[in-house]
Amino acid sequence: MFRPRTINRLSSLPRGRRDLRPAISAMTPPSCRVNTLPCRRLHLAPPFLLEDYTPRYMTLSSVEAAKKRSSAYAHLRNCNLCPRLCGVNRYETTGMCLIGDKAKVNVIAPHFGEEPCIQGHHGSGSVFFSMCNLRCVFCQNHDISHQRNGMDLTPEELGDWFIKLQDVGNVHNINLITPEHVVPQVALAILHARDNGLTLPIVYNTSAYDSLASLELMDGLVDIYLPDFKVWEPATSRRLLKADDYAATARESIKHMHAQVGDLCFTGDGIAKKGLLVRHLVMPGYEAEGARIMRFLAAKVSKDCFVNIMEQYHPDAHVGKPKRRTKQSDAELSTGEGEQEKRYDEINRSVSQQEISAVRRAAEEAGLWRFCDPPKHDGFSL
């Protein structure tokens, strides 16, 4: 099993220099300290610093790889892979995600819209899958996730694209965007690519609506889990995501992701190589749910969890569109008495600075400290 190599700080000290212990201890994050000295506020320090890194799929034995392949094919024949539990044979028909045995891919390209530690200087090798197993009414990517546009790829063709991204794009990683409904195809593609020379870490960029079965299939194949934990209350997820069980599923998924890969770790060039990075898109009027999510991460996942509190929400997809017309509303409009109502009007605006600050404050009060903040200087920062 791969273990990150970290510097053994105390045992490497000469006897005469044991007076350095308090200073070194103060450089260590809370989860690694044995006393209560203040922690170091640096991401690029032990134990989050790796000397080098080998992707997890490269350490799988041929027997483990064969088991993953047969499990992937079995899931495709009876798909209960995501929490929708459709139970369909995807070689013959489709379930709620409307995708069969071939993954449908909208865009494959180096991408520069991710966190600096994911995109680096050369970009993240992004694969945008068409469709999704959620139906977020505000989807910020709805032209891809709500529409079946793109090219159908076999797992082998998809794996060949990973190699092209590596060899031609010179990207830092393979970034699988919204892969929850194509996990078997993705697992087969990674195994095909590894047999043909892929050496880049795999990023699993998800809405966190994953089943434990799919995370088990991805265990040993994924290096960085990048879940977006969206809302906390079942009533909110029912209305806005069309999934009652979203938050309960996301909580279990994120705990399992962390159990597989641990906290986010970097190599010395500032590029993330393994671990968990949780996103939360602050929603207008839902900052209290964002605060609950932060408290959950600190209490149940890790206080060293790397978090990106995102501010870029904008009304999209169904939000702000006119409500369906009825005979009564038509009559009111024709007499000038009524006003055309908007769908999901409560989130038909940007988020305020106060709402963003409330989530950030809750995160800090809960003990989280590793945030994806913009650099404090003018230059590019990893």
Give yes or no for a contact between 369 and 300, defined as CB atoms under 8 angstroms apart.
Answer: no
- 282 is a site residue for ligand SF4 (CB under 6 A): no
Contacts (CB under 6 A) with ligand SF4, residues 145-184: 181
- 79 is a site residue for ligand SF4 (CB under 6 A): yes
Helix (H) or strand (E) run with residue 166 in it: helix 155-167
- 104 is a site residue for ligand SF4 (CB under 6 A): no
305 is in an annotated binding site: no
CA distance 186 to 206: 13
- 139 is a site residue for ligand SF4 (CB under 6 A): no
Give yes or no for a contact between 13 and 25, defined as CB atoms under 8 angstroms apart.
Answer: no
CA distance 257 to 246: 16
Fill in the per-residue mask, 177 to 206: x = in contact with ligand SF4 (CB under 6 A), - = not in contact: ----x-------------------------
Residue 103 or 362: the one with the smaller Cβ distance to ligand SF4 is 103
Residue 87 or 374: the one with the smaller Cβ distance to ligand SF4 is 87
**3-class state of residue 152 by DSSP:** strand
CB of 132 to ligand SF4, least distance (A): 9
CB of 338 to ligand SF4, least distance (A): 39
Total number of residues shown for the chain: 382
Range in contact with ligand SF4 (rule: CB under 6 A) among 19-27, 89-97, 109-117, 280-288: 89-97
Token representation of residue 41? 């506020």
Residue 94 or 140: the one with the smaller Cβ distance to ligand SF4 is 94
Residue 81 or 294: the one with the smaller Cβ distance to ligand SF4 is 81
- 241 is a site residue for ligand SF4 (CB under 6 A): no
377 contact partners, CB below 8 Å, separation of at least 6: none
Residue among 133, 166, 249, 308 that touches ligand SF4 (CB under 6 A): 133
Residue 257 or 264: the one with the smaller Cβ distance to ligand SF4 is 257
32 is in an annotated binding site: no
- 85 is a site residue for ligand SF4 (CB under 6 A): yes
Angle at 182 between CA 226 and CA 283, to 5 degrees: 40
> Is the peptide bond between 47 and the residue preceding it cis, with omega within 30 degrees of 0?
yes
The torsion angle over the Cα atoms of residues 119, 361, 47 and 372, rounded to 10 degrees, is 10
Token representation of residue 113? 């819209």
Token representation of residue 301? 């996942």
Give yes or no for a contact between 57 and 220, defined as CB atoms under 8 angstroms apart.
Answer: yes
Residue among 39, 72, 81, 264 that touches ligand SF4 (CB under 6 A): 81
- 97 is a site residue for ligand SF4 (CB under 6 A): yes
- 218 is a site residue for ligand SF4 (CB under 6 A): no
Range in contact with ligand SF4 (rule: CB under 6 A) among 94-102, 122-130, 229-237, 336-344: 94-102
- 89 is a site residue for ligand SF4 (CB under 6 A): no
Q: Spell out the alpha helix ranges (H) of the chain.
A: 21-26, 62-77, 116-119, 142-145, 155-167, 183-195, 212-218, 234-240, 246-261, 287-296, 327-334, 353-366
Q: How many residues bind ligand SF4 (CB under 6 A)?
A: 13
Instruction: Count the neighbouring beta carbons within 10 Å of the beta carbon of residue 270.
Output: 14
Q: Among all residues, whose Cβ is closest to ligand SF4?
A: 95
- 55 is a site residue for ligand SF4 (CB under 6 A): no
| Closest C-alpha to 239, from 381, 326, 350, 134 | 134
CA distance 254 to 160: 29
**3-class state of residue 275 by DSSP:** strand
Which residue positions form the known binding site for [4Fe-4S] cluster? 132, 136, 139
Numbered residues of the known binding site: 132, 136, 139
Contacts to ligand SF4 by CB under 6 A: 79-82, 84-86, 88, 95-97, 133, 181
